[in-house]
Amino acid sequence: MRGFYSAVLALGLLPASAGAVTFVFEGTTPDTLVDVRFEADLSIVGDTLTLILTNDSMNHVDGASPSMNPNDLLTSFYFDVFDGVNRPTLVYTGASGDVCLTDMNAADDCSVTTNEADLRAFVAGDRTWQFKDTFALVFGSDTLTFGVGTAGNNSLSPNGFMGNIVDGFDYGIYAGDVTTSNLDGDLLTTGSITYTWSGATGYDDADIADEVVFGLGTQPDSTGFVPEPSTGLLLGAGLLGMALRRGKR
C-alpha cells in the first residue's frame, strides 16, 4: 500500500465556458510549494452528466508547474446536483483518460493502454477512480453528495470517504513530464479524465452546486495550507478550501 501523504482539498470556481459549469482552483501545495491549477467542467445534457477533470498546472498564472510530488496530483473531486427537492440517482457509465508509465530518467511512456478506456473502480484492487453518492460534506450553502477519487480521503469520515475500494495515488492526474523519484515508475493519468453518468433526466446545469472540492495527494488531514483569502477559506478539520461561484456565461 502506498504511504500516506498530506493533501489539500481546495474549492473554487470561475465563470463557466459555454455548455458547462467550470470550476477552477489555483494554489500552492503546503509542503512542496508547487503551484497547482485544477479545472472541473460539469455539464448535463439529456440523461447524461459529464465531468472533465484537468490538472492544468502547466498553465498556472505564475508559470508552468509540472507535477513533482504526490501532493501535486489531482486525486479526488466532490460535487453536488440538487434541484432544491431531489438529487438524481446517478449510474457511473464511463471514465477515460490517457495513462502514462512515468520515468524520471526519460520521457514518460504514454503508449501504455492499461485501463485507459475504463478508469472506473468497482472492486478492491482496481486502483483507478471510484464513484460514491453517499457523502454529506457541507460547504457554504451546499451539501456535497457525490464524489470521484483514486485516493482514500479517510479523514473525511464521519461524513463519508472514498477509501472502501481505492487508496494511494495511482491513476491520479498529473501535469508535465515526471522528473522526480517519488513519482517514478507509476501509472498516472496525464492531463485530464472524462467521467459520465446516466440518470440526470429532469436536471440541468442550474442544478449543479455553487461549491466543489478538489483533493490532492492521499490524506487530507495534515496541516499547513490555507488558501489565499481571495481563493478560499480553511474550514473545520482537515484541509478544506472554499470559494464561491462568480456566475455563468
Residue 219's pLDDT is what? 55
Q: What is the pLDDT of residue 85?
A: 97
pTM of the entire predicted model = 0.85
The whole-angstrom separation of Cα 149 and Cα 55 is 14
| pLDDT tens per residue across span 43-81 | 999 999 999 999 999 988 888 889 999 888 998 888 999
More confident residue, 161 or 184: 184
- One-letter identity of residue 243: A
Q: Nearest 5°: phi and psi at 57? A: -65, -25
How do residues 25-40 score in pLDDT, each as one tens digit? Answer: 877 777 678 888 888 8
Higher pLDDT, 155 or 242: 155
pLDDT of residue 1: 32
- What's the confidence (pLDDT) of residue 27? 78
Higher pLDDT, 2 or 92: 92
What integer pLDDT is reported at residue 212 of this predicted model?
84
Q: Please provide the average confidence, as pLDDT, over all residues in the chain.
A: 79
Residue 241 confidence (pLDDT) above 80: no
214, containing H or E segment: strand 213-216
- Do 113 and 211 touch, CB atoms closer than 8 A? no
Residue 235 pLDDT class (50, 70, 90 cuts): very low
What is d(CA 136, CA 101) in angstroms, rounded to the nearest whole number? Answer: 35
Which of 13-17, 25-29, 126-130, 164-168: highest mean pLDDT?
126-130
The answer to whether 89 and 155 are in contact (CB under 8 A) is: no
HSE of 105 in the Cβ direction (CA atoms, 13 Å)? 1
114 pLDDT band, cuts 50/70/90, is low
